[in-house]
Structures are given as C-alpha cells and as structure tokens.
Amino acid sequence: MTKQGAYGKWVKRLLDCLLSAIALVVLSPIYLIVALLVKVKLGGPIIFKQQRPGLNEKVFSMYKFRTMTDERDEKGELLPDDIRLTKFGKFLRSTSLDELPELWNIFKGDMAIVGPRPLLVEYLPLYNEEQCKRHDVRPGLTGLAQVNGRNAISWEEKFKLDVHYVRHVTFSEDIKIILLTIKKVIKKEDINASDHVTIEKFKGTKKGC
C-alpha cells in the first residue's frame, strides 16, 4: 500500500464529499436538461452503468449519461460503436457532460475528484505489479494522465502517470490537475485517439498482479 500524508488520508476525502455535494446541487438544472435530451435523442435508460474497480480493486457501479443507441443487427448483436455513437453522443463526450453522474460516485466514496481513471474490470489480471498500484487510491473523475495526453498517449504512459500521482498525492497537485482539466474541457483537447470512437483496449504489458 502506498504511503500517503494527512491530505491523502483524510482531507482529500472530506473535500471530495463537500465539493461533490455542492456540485450536485448547483448543477442539478444541467443534469435535468441533459437527462431529458438523452431520453429524447437516445431513449432509455438515461444512465449508463458499468462495473469498475476502485480503491483496493473493490468493484463498484460507475454512472455516466449514455452516449450510444442500442441499435442491433439482424442477429440481435450490438452494432459497432462508430454507428451507435450519435452526433449528440459525441457532443456529450467532447464536453465531458456524459461524466456528470460520476459526481454521485464521488459523493458516495466510490471515486475522488482527482485520481487514476477507473478502467474495466477485465483489465485487473493484465496489470503488472507496478501498474496495480494505481488502485492504492480512489479512482478519479480526472487525473494526471487525463491532463497529459488522455487518449493520445499509450497505456503504459498512462499507467506511469497514474502511479506517479499515487506516490505524490498533494493538495497543490490536485488543484493543478483540476485547473488543467477545466482548460482541456473548454478547448476540447485529447478527446479521442486518432479516428477511434473509443480507445483501443488494454491487452497487458508483461506480468499480471
């Protein structure tokens, strides 16, 4: 387990709880508008729920606004992502509005405002010992990797940044990451890698945990 100071152990969680609660109230009109638009343009369910590993690899349900339709082929199988991702869905992703429901995850304690992004459960056996350390802290709404390339850098580079963050959890670093995130969201930087609708899946580095 990575050692953390008083901020990482206690203050960070208190701030996350307070700020997420305030954000949930202040942004409630936006939640309502986006929810109605999702229902009209994409149908139900409005919220996309997926299992993700969190602190100490404990699995939780992460919430996002849905950005894809449920269109299927004649065999009943979902169509490719690039077909199901609508123009409206792309807008939600480019503005990060699809991630607003994660504020509820933060308030509950599943996530933090800043931390390594929660990835797929299926990746857990693929991490090497060093990469596993990204789960020594709560996953975040944004993180060091997200402000240093996001989908434009390799998985190995992302994990190095994640572990670096875990070893340097400080108030000043969190503020810096939050400010850089706001800047990138406004400029819509590093949303997707090349022409991929979703980033290529992680296939492992060397050894599993």
- What is the tens place of the pLDDT at every residue in 156-190? 999 999 999 999 999 999 999 999 999 888 877 66
Total-model pTM: 0.88
The Cβ of residue 91 has, within 10 Å, a number of other Cβ atoms equal to 14
- Distance between CA 16 and CA 132 in Å, rounded? 23
**Long-range CB contacts for residues 21-26, cutoff 8 Å, separation at least 24:** 21/107, 23/103, 24/103, 24/104, 24/107
Instruction: Give the pLDDT band (50/70/90) at residue 206.
Output: low
- What is the tens place of the pLDDT at every residue in 49-84? 999 999 999 999 999 999 998 888 777 787 887 788
Residue 41 parent element (H or E):
helix 28-42
